[in-house]
Structure 1
Amino acid sequence: MKCIYWIGLLSLFIVSCGTKAYDKTDLGLKTIIDSTTVDIQFFSPKIIRVLKYPQDSVIDKKSLSVIKSPEKLDLNISEDDNFFTISSNSLKVRLNRKSGEISYSDLNGDLLFTEAPSYDFTPTSDAGENTFKVTQSFKLEPDEAIYGLGILQQGKMSQRNQEVFMVQGNTQDYVPFFQSVKGYGLFWDNYSPTTFKDDENGTQFSSEVGKCIDYYFMLGGNADGVIAEMRNLTGQAPMFPLWTFGFWQSKERYKSQDETVGVVEKYRELGVPLDGIIQDWQYWGDNYHWNAMEFLNPNFPNPQKFVNDVHNLNAHMIISIWSSFGPETNEYKELKDKGMLMDFGTWPLSGKDVWPPDMNYPSGVVVYDPYNPEARDIYWKYLKKGLFSLGIDGWWMDSTEPDHMNAKPEDLDNKTYLGSFRKVRNAFPLMTVGGVYDHQRKETSDKRVFILTRSAFAGQQRYGSNTWTGDVTSSWEALKNQIPAGLNFSMTGIPYWNTDIGGFFLSKFPKKLDDPNYKELYARWVQFGAFSTMMRSHGADAPREIYQFGKKGEPIYDAIDKFINLRYSLLPYIYATSYDVTANQSTITRALVMDFAEDKNTHDINNEYMFGKSILVAPVTDPMYTKDVNEHNKVQDFSTTKSTEIYLPANTTWYDFWTNEKLVGGKTISKETPIDMMPLYVKAGSIIPFGPKVQFAEEKDWSNLEIRVYTGANGEFSLYEDEKDNYNYEKGAFSLISFEWDDSNKKLTINKREGTFDGMLKNRSFNIVFINSHNEPLSKTIDYNGERLEVKL
């Protein structure tokens, strides 16, 4: 959105007040305070943009994240000796005429948020261009919890009392956005290296490059509302195909097409469900052909047969692509001729596939300029020709931060289409991921875009991507850290994230899969992964397929198998929840504060979360069944069942998922956790559909679903179905069957089906199971033809 103001066009009138004046604009007002232009713009009744810049500056900034156009609003503007006040039908904004401080209140006058009277424009030079370092401070209440900032690996849930230097990295994905437990959010719209700081002196964003201070305040009322406003501002999340919610297997790396296909065949032989296999790097051959986006490696002699073999096993394939190119690739040569490559160290540094890199043979691999629309066109041209044409199902976009190795400050002087790399550094993943999404959407609407990527920035939810938390080291501490890292990421408005199940590097387990402690860690990580937005096993140093962990009848194998199958039984619930994300701006993995903000005990819980709005998940993140025999040997001992503690939020009745025991919230309980059990609790009033036992997501239709009704409170749920892997849902090709539970009358209403699509089931059976205590549940099977009916308990 351009921030350029033409006084003759936008100014409707000027009101003088002593030596001060303001311009009433189409979006709010603009005035000058202490030689600083302050421009307050209402994008909607609940979203306000604030621009500040030296009065002699001319600002022409197009946001990379914000895609919303301002709405036409009826605003009320008033003034007195101390303040300008602007009001919509939802918010009241006051600008202090002396200090320039801006505060935000609801219409009752209750203060929500305020700036500190401290902002700064420090002149600096960016790659020879005169610009500013920009800083703005804010005031938070002492006990006010805030969430967001992206994926941070520090184990914190509330993001208070810390300093964070934001430059995209392998395991850290920064989004300069936070939301408050008070029900508002703030997006700092700057892409240069940025420092977020919160301490007793206040809360502050400070960016290395900026012509102006530029931020958005949004009122949501609660966490879901804030996320809805952030997506209103930066874009909605499209739906993924059903198959992406199944189980995925990967490793670094399968070295031939026979090996990759063999993994899928082995899963089918074992009867363990699998929907996807991932082909990692080097299918292109050597490092000089890095990311050629075609099969040049002789171990992949027949690429079309490779893809077809996977498809014939009823599985899908995504493949590794990067943001950089080797000097012998066609992409490199074309991009270099057009001046669309950058010059700094990136992975791999050496042309030899060795570690540490042998710099006698530099690889020549460099990063391309995704900020340039023509460069994005070139990227897609080769991706389409080399891989998309084969029918590959999705893209594993690695190093989208991108890798910046042996970094030097002058590296950020590299010129991009939008100025210095420093100026736009943190938006690199947004631009490179967005380029692939936009091109595939233009290519076809018959196949949904699915991108697995290592980095993200504000607005990336609109580009069909699921961000993984990077190449984390395998450890119990790392497993703990993934939970708040992902939950805070979700609270920036980007709903899809996942982790390398088991952790990527096994450096802390020298014996690798022979270490019983690692096997226990892997089983627990699988359980956590089953309740993530993508369930994907991946890592280096040792393979991670289920058959590497024993065989059927052995504890670790059986625990892994149990949770993969549980994941598949929950697919109707997960898919309906993903529709709720797209249609209603919801979130799948939910920090407890999102649903239980009134319970202050939830405000900083970093080891539990809601999966959808019904299931509380408490991953086991400590070893329980591995003990030392001596200094060098460990064994697993399952003879004694251990327990863990879980906090159940207040003012809610809960059911133990495994036993149906009924519990009252507002307290910490102890739960036994054998190796094949992770604590799961279901909120009273929940209605959860369970699907059939399958080997892949689309093996069987949903003509015979079990519908569990957890009594004790009123509840509702909408079963969503569509054509599973195209964009016809955007044209209304889907159906909804809504269930309503009236607890006082013990009555379940199944409403008339809404909508239709090709292949829709016209008739089906529901096995209704009423859960009311730890006693035997009551069940009733009914036939449903799309018309409204009632079922009494």
Structure 2
Amino acid sequence: MPLNSNGIQITIPASENMEAHTLRIEVISEDIFRISASPTDSIPEVQSLMIQDSLPKAPSWERRETNDSIGLITSKSQAWVSKITGGIAFKDESGKLLLKETPGGKAFLPITADQNHPLFTITQRFESPRDESLYGLGQQQTGLFDYKGYQVDLTQYNGVVAVPFLTSSREYSILWDNNSITKVGDTRELLPLSELRLFDQLGKEGFLTAVYANNKEQPNQGLKQHEGQIDYTFLDDLEKIPADFNMADGAVTWTGQLMANHNGLHQFYLSYSGYIKIWIDGQLILDRWRESWNPGPAVFRQELHTDKPSSIKMEWIPESTQSFFSIKYLAPSAYDTEQTYAFQSEAGQMMDYYFIHGKSIDERIHGYRLLTGKAQVMPKWAMGFWQSRERYHTQAELLNTVAEYRKRGIPLDNIVQDWSYWPEAEWGSHDFDPERFPDPAAMVRKVHEEYHAQLMISVWPKFYEGIDHYEQFESKGWLYQQNIKNRQKDWIGQGYISTFYDAFAPGARELFWKQINDKLYQKGIDAWWLDATEPDIHSNSSIDHRKTLMSPNALGTSEEYFNAYSLVNAKGIYEGQRKQNNQDRVFILTRSGFPGIQRYGAATWSGDIAARFDELEQQIPAGLNFALSGLPYWTTDIGGFFVENKYDRPDPQGDDLEEWRELNTRWYQYGTFSPLYRSHGQYPYREVFNIAPDEHPAYKSIVFYNKLRYRLMPYLYSLTGKIHHDDYTLMRPLMMDFEDKEAKSIKDQFMFGPSLMINPIYQYKARSREVFFPDHTLWYDLLTGEKIEGGKTIEVAAPYDKIPIYVKAGSIIPFGPEISYTSEKPADPLHLWIYPGQNGKFELYEDEGINYNYENGFYSTINLLYNDAEKTLVIGERKGEFEGMLKSRTFIITLANKNSATALELDKESEQAKIIKYEGKEIIIKLSN
């Protein structure tokens, strides 16, 4: 039956299998359908947190009906629903099938929870061709890029960001509107190793042989026992470790053999901290390290057989009394990994998802932001370099750091004050410790007025019991109570009892803003670093315990809203600051994220990752999938947050010191071309002048790339404008822009905007790497101008001080003058470097850089068009205006030589350069090499 002008609602015949009974399909746009379903007679009206409050008016559409199905047809997309089963097929405008739900693919399992409305565990399964690739889903730390065939766990952790937005290689994406813990892909329950056939060292079936050695230097001497389930995942699980085992100094080794119950490729899922190594049939499969207090995930696949055992050896060095290791697996299943994938959410009142069609991924990300909100134009300073460390202990340390950057002429825009600037016993007071920060307002003024930089500060949603701010929340019932009832102390000093505020309560969000406004914003603080927003109330607690710690909340149960805390927390600060000051742009950096957070001026970083080359390698696909999740602003801790003992106990020396310097050099090179450019981490100190002396190649390289980013600021800020106005994505996996089949799986190369292909180096002592050059275009080395024809993979040089960066033919790249901070001077003269071989275009975007006047049309654009056949550049008529706009400017135009290498020179004009005075009117320039 018709629902309204936006769609239809139908009733499906009753089923004993708790499938959908009521189904609604709504037309949101020509390319977006909303699917809602319930096992009951009605679909509840649930206020979405991720979808913005108002959506555009639905377009015109046509209803068609056949004997067994009903179709909703727009000019670009179709949705066909079976009258009998409720299964839906999505097609493009020509009728080509894009996505189809599996028969009986909807499932609702009632769950018991303390709420006023029924909740269900919800599953939706889709058919998926073998050659389909699946991306997005937030930020994972497994090193995977294409998730097809794997299980992706969308649970907010430190380092894992759960974003239920999936992007397919088949012209569609899915936004799954559910706030609870969700699994995507192969959603079967992970199994313990004991479900395989296990054999100990002597060949006896049933278990592996475990040795718990109290001295890691003698791993074969210790307590021996048989084990089949290795599951030390959370704090409670550590009780299962033998009582006499010395975790801080010991090692555990498991040895034996595995045999499968089904032949084929098995998937193994690990959570680990400390050192872990795994060998299968003598081959080293995994060799990783993570700081003990912050376990990370790992995934690998291994062929196992029913008739031939495989030897296995696992070695774990915990390094701490609180370290974690677990290993589980999934058996091969073509249905679950090759033919279908599913979304499965732990709790929800209804099923709710959006199908987004688009020929390009950019079109689908536009659809995502139409639903969840535009990303703002970030303040221009945020696109410059940020210096941070854990932490500046005093006012003098912070100011001296900024002063040293200015003294050395190294560009810097933002200095960050990490946690614990408050008196030790007053977490949540937002007060500065007067002994260490005697005049914080003067400190902020000096950063602004003398050093022309911004100051970001760490603000947690955490409060110590008994302080004034705690009592303000407590009196309103806006604090989570369980951690207080547990008398759980944290890790600071003697340990203090604390809890988090309930960000799901509107009044609590307003109070939180009032407190940081009174104590911090009024002192001139520029931006907010929101830490532990998973929320991480008690690190490494079990999932069930985490739920008790954030329950109840103002909207319902923690089961239903587990993943959405960071979204509402950012909402309160964004809305509070804009109400207080609607001029200066809000900037938020938050450790967790969720769909829609981009509309609150928020970016995300990759959490407390390890300072290792393999961890740097993992950040590349993590960032690319984050971008494919519709969220444009992302960063890592350059250098990695926490370090192995060889780097900091004592200061690194010899080979360790040189490895440390090279790690930071390679990470800075990669970080220069991340959406946000930010150094942070534990000791050793992360400032470039603390990493290496001035004449060291590490120092020279880091400073070179820093200055290159600032010279690229006109290019970068234009793309920042495009992110807002055109829903653009800055960090772009190759498959976004190139149709080569190789591009679907490349996870360690990406485009930075339309022109620059970035190829990071992530192996120690590597001095070259393989680079795939997409076909049908010519590529120029950015620095040397040397050319490579596309359509091949070749080994390219990567000396210590450089990473391979290539420019796509047809690119127009604007470079600005050398500057020390983004607002130092206008981008004049503006160097335009043009790379022949194809036609090209670029839109130069400018606005006031710090305020929201662009929302009212106060910005300018200049279209640049290059005709390769005619060798002409059109500098278009300037459109728009804003206060402080350059009405007259100089362009210095260089056409790179297609026949011989043209090295990038920005500080002197080549003989071929054209110098053009521009007054805002269209100019056509004839170019030559």
- Normalised by the size of structure 1, how large is the TM-score? 0.92
Q: Size of the alignment, in residue pairs? A: 748
Percent identity, aligned pairs only? 38
Q: Distance in 1 between matches of 2:88 and 2:754?
A: 36
* Deviation, structure 1 residue 648: 0.8
Task: State the partner residue of 1:449.
Answer: 586
Change in Cα spacing, 1:232 to 1:513, as seen in structure 2 (3 Å) is: farther
> Where in structure 2 are the equivalents of 1:466-485 lying within 5 Å?
466-485=603-622
- The answer to whether the 8 A contact 1:248-1:274 is kept is yes
Task: State the partner residue of 2:528.
Answer: 395
* Deviation, structure 1 residue 331: 2.1
- The answer to whether the 8 A contact 1:475-1:508 is kept is no
Task: State the partner residue of 2:422.
Answer: 284
Residue 181 (structure 1) aligned to one of 169, 173, 179: 169
Q: Deviations over 1:466-494 (max 9, x none)?
A: 10000001111110111111111111111
Task: State the partner residue of 1:13.
Answer: none
Give, as a single letter, the amino acid of the residue that structure 1 aligns with 2:534. E
Instruction: Give 3-state SS (helix, strand or coil) of 1:192's partner.
Output: coil
Task: State the partner residue of 1:429.
Answer: 566
Task: State the partner residue of 2:923.
Answer: 789
Task: State the partner residue of 1:631.
Answer: none
Instruction: Give 3-state SS (helix, strand or coil) of 1:375's partner.
Output: helix
* Deviation, structure 1 residue 29: 0.9
> Where in structure 2 are the equivalents of 1:61-76 lying within 5 Å?
61-67=46-52, 68-69=54-55, 71-76=57-62
Give, as a single letter, the amino acid of the residue that structure 1 aligns with 2:397. E
Give, as a single letter, the amino acid of the residue that structure 2 aligns with 1:234. T
Residue 726 (structure 2) aligned to one of 567, 571, 584: 584
Task: State the partner residue of 2:226.
Answer: none
- The answer to whether the 8 A contact 1:181-1:222 is kept is no
Change in Cα spacing, 1:92 to 1:351, as seen in structure 2 (3 Å) is: closer
Q: Distance in 1 between matches of 2:25 and 2:467?
A: 49
> Where in structure 2 are the equivalents of 1:162-561 lying within 5 Å?
162-198=150-186, 199-200=337-338, 202-286=340-424, 288-311=425-448, 312-344=450-482, 350=489, 353-354=492-493, 362-405=495-538, 406-407=541-542, 409=544, 411-413=546-548, 414-507=551-644, 509-511=646-648, 513-514=652-653, 515=656, 516-561=658-703
Instruction: Give 3-state SS (helix, strand or coil) of 2:153's partner.
Output: strand
- The answer to whether the 8 A contact 1:151-1:173 is kept is yes
Instruction: Give 3-state SS (helix, strand or coil) of 2:112's partner.
Output: strand
Residue 11 (structure 2) aligned to one of 20, 24, 32: 32
Moved more, 733-742 or 587-596: 733-742
Task: State the partner residue of 1:126.
Answer: 113
Residue 96 (structure 2) aligned to one of 107, 110, 118: 110
* Deviation, structure 1 residue 509: 3.8
Q: Deviations over 1:418-448 (max 9, x none)?
A: 0012211111111101111111112222211
Q: Distance in 2 between matches of 1:158 and 1:348?
A: 44
Change in Cα spacing, 1:31 to 1:679, as seen in structure 2 (3 Å) is: same
* Deviation, structure 1 residue 72: 3.6
Residue 606 (structure 1) aligned to one of 747, 765, 768: 747
Q: Distance in 2 between matches of 1:483 and 1:434?
A: 28
Change in Cα spacing, 1:345 to 1:713, as seen in structure 2 (3 Å) is: farther
- The answer to whether the 8 A contact 2:151-2:184 is kept is yes
* Deviation, structure 1 residue 201: 5.0
Task: State the partner residue of 1:728.
Answer: 853
Change in Cα spacing, 1:783 to 1:349, as seen in structure 2 (3 Å) is: farther
Give, as a single letter, the amino acid of the residue that structure 2 aligns with 1:412. K
Change in Cα spacing, 1:765 to 1:156, as seen in structure 2 (3 Å) is: same
Task: State the partner residue of 1:11.
Answer: none
* Deviation, structure 1 residue 548: 1.1
Instruction: Give 3-state SS (helix, strand or coil) of 2:562's partner.
Output: helix
Q: Distance in 1 between matches of 2:13 and 2:345?
A: 21
Instruction: Give 3-state SS (helix, strand or coil) of 1:700's partner.
Output: coil
Q: Distance in 1 between matches of 2:488 and 2:916?
A: 63
Counterpart check, 1:44 vs 2:29: yes
- The answer to whether the 8 A contact 1:655-1:661 is kept is yes
Q: Deviations over 1:687-733 (max 9, x none)?
A: 00111111111112212111101111101111111111001111111
Q: Distance in 1 between matches of 2:711 and 2:609?
A: 29
- The answer to whether the 8 A contact 2:458-2:530 is kept is yes
Counterpart check, 1:91 vs 2:77: yes
* Deviation, structure 1 residue 523: 0.2
Instruction: Give 3-state SS (helix, strand or coil) of 1:419's partner.
Output: coil
Change in Cα spacing, 1:484 to 1:345, as seen in structure 2 (3 Å) is: farther
Q: Deviations over 1:585-619 (max 9, x none)?
A: 100000111001x2111001000000001100000
Q: Distance in 2 between matches of 1:363 and 1:96?
A: 58
Task: State the partner residue of 1:53.
Answer: 38
Give, as a single letter, the amino acid of the residue that structure 1 aligns with 2:131. D
- The answer to whether the 8 A contact 1:590-1:611 is kept is yes
- The answer to whether the 8 A contact 1:163-1:197 is kept is yes
- The answer to whether the 8 A contact 1:331-1:382 is kept is yes
* Deviation, structure 1 residue 57: 4.3
* Deviation, structure 1 residue 169: 0.7
* Deviation, structure 1 residue 128: 5.2
Q: Distance in 2 between matches of 1:49 and 1:775?
A: 52
Q: Distance in 1 between matches of 2:630 and 2:411?
A: 31
- The answer to whether the 8 A contact 2:157-2:536 is kept is yes
Q: Distance in 2 between matches of 1:353 and 1:342?
A: 20
* Deviation, structure 1 residue 140: 1.3
Task: State the partner residue of 2:270.
Answer: none
Residue 874 (structure 2) aligned to one of 727, 745, 749: 749
Q: Distance in 1 between matches of 2:677 and 2:595?
A: 24
Q: Deviations over 1:240-287 (max 9, x none)?
A: 11111111111001000011000001111111111111001111111x
* Deviation, structure 1 residue 58: 5.0
Q: Distance in 2 between matches of 1:165 and 1:718?
A: 39
- The answer to whether the 8 A contact 2:685-2:691 is kept is no
Task: State the partner residue of 1:161.
Answer: 149
- The answer to whether the 8 A contact 1:331-1:378 is kept is no
* Deviation, structure 1 residue 352: 5.7
Give, as a single letter, the amino acid of the residue that structure 1 aligns with 2:789. V
Q: Deviations over 1:612-636 (max 9, x none)?
A: 01100000111116xxxxxxxxxxx
Q: Distance in 2 between matches of 1:323 and 1:42?
A: 39
Q: Distance in 1 between matches of 2:434 and 2:496?
A: 17
Task: State the partner residue of 1:692.
Answer: 817
Q: Distance in 1 between matches of 2:471 and 2:921?
A: 62
Q: Distance in 1 between matches of 2:467 and 2:481?
A: 16
Give, as a single letter, the amino acid of the residue that structure 2 aligns with 1:106. D
* Deviation, structure 1 residue 463: 0.9
Q: Distance in 2 between matches of 1:687 and 1:128?
A: 58
Q: Distance in 2 between matches of 1:34 and 1:364?
A: 54
Q: Distance in 2 between matches of 1:212 and 1:549?
A: 53
Task: State the partner residue of 1:702.
Answer: 827
Give, as a single letter, the amino acid of the residue that structure 2 aligns with 1:353. I
Residue 79 (structure 1) aligned to one of 34, 53, 65: 65
Q: Distance in 2 between matches of 1:435 and 1:348?
A: 28
Q: Deviations over 1:161-205 (max 9, x none)?
A: 111222101100011110111221101110111111231352111
* Deviation, structure 1 residue 107: 2.0
- The answer to whether the 8 A contact 1:147-1:180 is kept is yes
* Deviation, structure 1 residue 362: 4.6
Q: Distance in 2 between matches of 1:352 and 1:369?
A: 22
Instruction: Give 3-state SS (helix, strand or coil) of 1:586's partner.
Output: coil
Q: Distance in 1 between matches of 2:94 and 2:834?
A: 40
Instruction: Give 3-state SS (helix, strand or coil) of 1:660's partner.
Output: coil
